[in-house]
Amino acid sequence: MTSYCNAKCGACARNLNGGATVPGLKLQHFDTDVWHELAEQTAGSLQKLSLNGNWGDPGMHPQLISMLETWLTFHDDCDIVIHTNGGMHKPNWWEELADTLKNHRHRVIFSVDGIGKDHELYRRNTSYNRVIENLKAFNSAGGNSEWIMTLWDHNYKDVDKAKALATMLGCYWFQTRRNNSGDICPIRDDKGRELYTLTAKEANKHGKFESVSLPNLKFVNKFSKRKDFEDQTISKCPWYNQFEVQIDPYHRVWPCCNISIYGHIEGWPRNPTIDQSKILYDDFNDLTKHNIYDILDHEWYNDTLSDAIENAKYAVCRNNCDVHKY
Ligand code: SF4
Ligand code: SF4
């Protein structure tokens, strides 16, 4: 939805170890007219809209609520999942969001990485108190939320306390997960000076990793009209088998989040493992120029990518999805 973010999480691709925004990142919000066209073109034929961020937080899009209203006009049955740090806006904005979503199947996932100031060590630039106020307001106004907690050595012993608090605040789900930077995550300031290092050695070894429903969960599925389709197994690509694509804030349609990440920072990262010459400089996957169905029908999707996956040509596929030639 956007490449803007209020936070500076330590291991996020959009900043340098919690410091300066990565050089070359183009700051852009998804265009509302393109969004309207996309919603209209795909009306009634999608099961799930998931707003997460390779480059920014969906909550930073100034038109997020009206864009969701547009989406729901054309996709009454669609399951909506939003991932957010929850630290932007005031509680009344979150009440409005809950009001928009409350009669539809949805889950808003708030990243809260511990209790009190512990949370702010990784989720730099967010205020724990503000996130909790927003989460509470969202839940009280009828929103369905999940508290997700990334475990570090400084917070992994607080999982039970966090779960109890999530229950008290009215969340429906609670999840703990590993961080994606291994045992160590250095945190730097905007000038690149190291401030401190987060460690996760103990947390990775002894942490309790779980995804659970909380007792508050009562009627959350009552608006669900979604029918689950069985995964296809005809491709080695898990996103293809799940009928998923990734669309970035620059209106480009990618086969998955792993490949999309190489698409839009000029000069970085120059990853030789996928065919960037084709992807970067060709506008075939640009929604401002083509409709979604023409994009998915393009030679790159049907031949180039299929062949690369079938023959395990891209390291990005081998490394992220364990794709092998045989
Ligand atoms: S909230 Fe998300 S997009 Fe923003 S810095 Fe953190 S991980 Fe990155
Ligand atoms: S990295 Fe390759 S195999 Fe994995 S989801 Fe993306 S396109 Fe598919």
Q: Using one digit for the tens of pLDDT, what is the confidence trace for 214-269?
A: 999 876 766 666 666 677 788 899 999 988 999 999 999 999 988 887 655 554 44
- Quote the CA–CA distance of 180 and 218 in Å, as a whole number: 32
- Quote the CA–CA distance of 54 and 267 in Å, as a whole number: 17
- Quote the CA–CA distance of 241 and 276 in Å, as a whole number: 23
Query: What letter does residue 25 receive in the DSSP assignment?
Result: B
Segment 310-322 mean pLDDT:
87
Task: Determine the residue of 233, 236, 244, 259 to mutate for testing ligand 2's pocket, defined as the one with the most ligand atoms within 8 A of the Cβ atom.
Answer: 259
Among candidate residues 273, 94, 43, the one with its CA nearest the CA of residue 261: 273
For the CA of 83, the closest atom of ligand 1 is 2
**Ligand index nearest the alpha carbon of residue 179:** 1
Expressed in angstroms and rounded, the spacing between residue 315 Cα and the centre of ligand 2 is: 10
For the CA of 308, the closest atom of ligand 2 is 2
For the CA of 125, the closest atom of ligand 1 is 5
Fold of domain 32-224: TIM Barrel (3.20.20)
pLDDT tens-digit profile of 29-75?
999 999 999 999 999 899 999 999 788 999 999 999 999 999 999 99
- Quote the CA–CA distance of 276 and 256 in Å, as a whole number: 15
Position 270 scores a pLDDT of 47
Expressed in angstroms and rounded, the spacing between residue 129 Cα and the centre of ligand 1 is: 18
Position 315 scores a pLDDT of 81
- Domain residue extents for the chain: 32-224, 238-321
